């Protein structure tokens, strides 16, 4: 497709030019005017777990499990059960999504319906998260181990010869480790065809971590864990709050958070190497950032874009969602899916043609519309014309 056709198609894209929010319904009956509901207990006979959220229970019952044997030496060959789900037709292009901390694959529940008709979407819950096992007896939850888990999942569980990769938050760190292993492999058993990166602490010196997160790495961690476990379980609230509470309570996610939160130490030790891998990656990449994120503010995305993506010869783009925060897939699911579709189905303009592209997008903007940041090859910016500047004046 030529660039004129691209600009025309992108300008006509309903997700970019004139988005209409069409998120999934809450799915919980009995909501009051504020959307709050009282959870109805439902016992899962297989696990003995009581659900209070119909949304969480439906997500759980739609999934499957596979067994993963940890490669981390301190885990001594321990195996855990890992939850996953798939959506759409296997004959369509595949999209693998990696979730963040301290949540789960459920984060993408409202975004997936905008993609599953044309893509085979697959998600999983890493060990320590969601509906997967969450051992708390000294098990080390490692990013590098999760990267190898993703490799196993792709090859042995869902058998994807080619796929796009979308990551969020902690999943971005796993994705960077996974990418490094992929680039180092001489004989690749699959192809990563596009790499989407969204909000996360992907460069910790610029993150705005809460003191509670830092305390998880220090001596106060066990105390915080006991305090969190002692809190009564939420059984009423908004449908989203109930679903999150159920998923966190499954296999005692509150107790596991102390252990999974230590990933920040591994992130800090490896982030420069992982970002260097991103710079050298031949995989087309799009970075998507919710502008209102206060934990991982846009300065992280700006830093990664300018230092690791902007000057790559391979297709790269940077998008900002002005009305989204840390979870753009939850705050603006249709807009997030629209960016994914635009990159995959249309492509992004070369730097010389992006000004016209941005002007066309601006004509149909709403408050939620994505902003395409564009390439910034500053060295090529100049003022062509018939006059010349000098301290003595201008030549005419």
* pTM (2 d.p.): 0.88
Contact 46, 250 (CB under 8 A): no
Query: pLDDT tens-digit profile of 119-138?
Result: 999 999 999 999 999 999 88
Q: Decide if 324 is inside a domain.
A: yes
Residue 354's Cα: distance from chain center in Å? 25
Contacts 24+ apart (CB under 8 A), 71-75: 71/144, 71/145, 71/148, 72/140, 72/142, 72/144, 72/145, 74/138, 74/140, 75/139, 75/140, 75/145
- Which residue range(s) make up the domain with 94? 3-31+84-124+141-219+249-394
- The pLDDT tens digits for 301-324 are 999 999 999 989 999 999 999 999
Domain assignment present for residue 241? The answer is no
Asked whether residue 67 is assigned to any structural domain, the reply reads no
Q: How far apart are CA 306 and CA 375, in angstroms?
A: 9
Task: State pLDDT tens for residues 78-87.
Answer: 999 999 999 9
Let me know: does 291 contact 198? Beta carbons within 8 Å. no
CATH code, domain carrying 288: 3.40.50.1820
Residue 112 phi, psi (nearest 5): -60, -40
Tokens standing for 321?
Answer: 């969602």
User: Do you know the residue count of the chain?
Assistant: 396
In a domain, 54, yes or no: no
Domain count for the chain, please give it: 1
Per-residue pLDDT reduced to its tens digit, 158-202: 999 999 999 999 999 999 999 999 999 999 999 999 999 999 999
Whether 272 contacts 308, CB under 8 Å: no
As a whole number of angstroms, the distance between CA 288 and CA 372 comes to 9
């Amino acid at each position: 497709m030529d660039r004129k056709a691209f600009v025309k198609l992108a300008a006509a894209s309903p997700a970019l030019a004139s988005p209409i929010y069409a998120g999934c319904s809450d799915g919980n009956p009995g909501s009051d005017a504020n959307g709050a509901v009282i959870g109805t207990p439902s016992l899962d006979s297989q696990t003995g777990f009581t659900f209070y959220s119909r949304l969480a229970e439906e997500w759980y019952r739609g999934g499957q499990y596979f067994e993963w044997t940890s490669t981390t030496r301190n885990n001594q060959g321990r195996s855990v059960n890992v939850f996953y789900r798939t959506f759409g037709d296997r004959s369509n292009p595949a999209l693998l999504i990696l979730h963040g901390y301290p949540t789960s694959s459920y984060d993408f529940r409202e975004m997936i319906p905008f993609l599953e008709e044309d893509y085979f979407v697959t998600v999983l819950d890493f060990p320590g998260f969601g509906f997967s096992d969450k051992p708390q007896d000294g098990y080390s939850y490692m990013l590098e181990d999760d990267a190898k888990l993703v490799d196993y999942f792709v090859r042995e569980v869902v058998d994807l010869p080619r796929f796009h990769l979308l990551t969020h938050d902690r999943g971005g760190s796993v994705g960077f480790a996974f990418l490094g292993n992929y680039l180092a492999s001489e004989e690749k058993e699959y192809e990563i065809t596009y790499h989407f990166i969204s909000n996360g602490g992907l460069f910790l010196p610029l993150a705005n971590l809460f003191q509670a997160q830092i305390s998880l790495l220090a001596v106060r961690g066990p105390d915080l864990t006991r305090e969190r476990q002692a809190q009564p379980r939420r059984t009423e609230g908004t449908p989203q709050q109930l679903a999150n509470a159920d998923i966190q309570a499954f296999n005692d996610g509150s107790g596991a958070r102390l252990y999974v939160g230590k990933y920040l130490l591994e992130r800090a030790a490896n982030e420069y190497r992982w970002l260097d891998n991103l710079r050298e990656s031949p995989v087309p990449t799009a970075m998507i950032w919710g502008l209102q994120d206060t934990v991982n503010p846009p300065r992280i995305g700006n830093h990664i874009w300018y230092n690791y993506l902007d000057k790559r010869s391979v297709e790269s783009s940077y998008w900002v969602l002005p009305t989204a925060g840390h979870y753009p897939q939850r705050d603006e699911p249709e807009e997030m899916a629209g960016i994914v579709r635009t990159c995959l189905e249309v492509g992004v303009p070369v730097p010389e043609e992006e000004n016209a592209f941005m002007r066309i997008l601006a004509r149909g903007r709403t408050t939620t519309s994505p902003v395409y940041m564009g390439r910034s090859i500053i060295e090529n910016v100049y003022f062509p014309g018939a006059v010349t500047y000098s301290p003595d004046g201008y030549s005419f």
